[in-house]
Amino acid sequence: MRLPLACLAPAALTGAALTLVAMTGMARADYVISAYGGYNFSFDGTVDVANGPSTHTLDMSWDGRSFESGAPYYGLRGTAWLNRFGQPNWGLALDYAHAKVAADPLPPGVTTLEFTDGLNLLTVNALYRTRPMGRVTPYLGLGAGLAIPHVEYQEAGGPRTFEYQVAGPAVQALAGADMALTDFLSVFGEYKLAYSHNAARLVNGGSLTTDIVTNQIVLGASLRFGEGR
């Protein structure tokens, strides 16, 4: 499935967040909209390429490039805490992370291999928060969803793949702490570990497959709506 617009994943997040609000109801609710930035880096791995008659596995060193190549690393999240159901410590969240990776160094014969317009991860997450400790509330989360990378691949003298694709499943775990500044505004720090399976199509009918584990160190701000706990 090809995605023509880079903004499709954030738009999907917004629509899904509104759906969460509708599903949980407005009474006795606690809704949070968050935006964050930070730094991402990935473990080394392998890439399987089937390109025309040749099939080969490349050992890959990934560079995070969090602050380069256009938009930096960033993310958006919509959260609904389940106060209405008598479970104020539990919540559901839609999370979109615009992570980035690129091959460094490039394998011999390859001129481009990167996901720097986004190794985009869109996940549904279950969250658990502890009781506040003063202004600080620790939390944990697990999520699953889709990897929607912008695939950029080209071999010397060959055709160029340069497009968004729904490439495969993604899962993530996260842990962080939120610090309230006012009744409606807070800041948070977080660590996320995400795995994505990326099975991409190349323009000549070939394929590129790689599993990427991404570390994300996050700082962000949140706006809260509803009556809280």
Domain ranges of the chain: 2-226
Of 74, 206, 98, which Cα lies nearest the Cα of 153?
A: 206
pLDDT at 183 over 80: yes
pLDDT in tens, 124-180: 999 999 999 999 999 999 999 999 999 999 999 889 999 999 999 999 999 999 999
Q: 177 near 160, Cβ under 8 Å?
A: no
Tokens 């570990």 locate to 193
One-letter amino acid at 78 equals G
CATH for 2-226 (1.10.10.60, 2.40.50.100, 3.20.20.100, 2.40.160.20): 2.40.160.20
Distance CA 161, CA 71 (A): 20
What is the model's pLDDT at position 64?
86
**What pTM was computed for the model?**
0.84
Lowest-pLDDT range, 4-8, 13-17, 53-57? 4-8
pLDDT at 10 over 60: no
What is the model's pLDDT at position 131?
93
What is the model's pLDDT at position 229?
56
Q: For 185-190, what is the mean pLDDT?
A: 97
What is the model's pLDDT at position 185?
96
Q: For 113-128, what is the mean pLDDT?
A: 94
Question: What's the angle, vertex CA 62, arms to CA 58 and CA 65, rounded to 5?
Answer: 145
Distance CA 223, CA 121 (A): 22
pLDDT in tens, 52-87: 777 889 899 999 888 875 678 999 999 999 988 888
pLDDT in tens, 18-51: 454 444 444 345 899 999 999 999 999 999 999 7
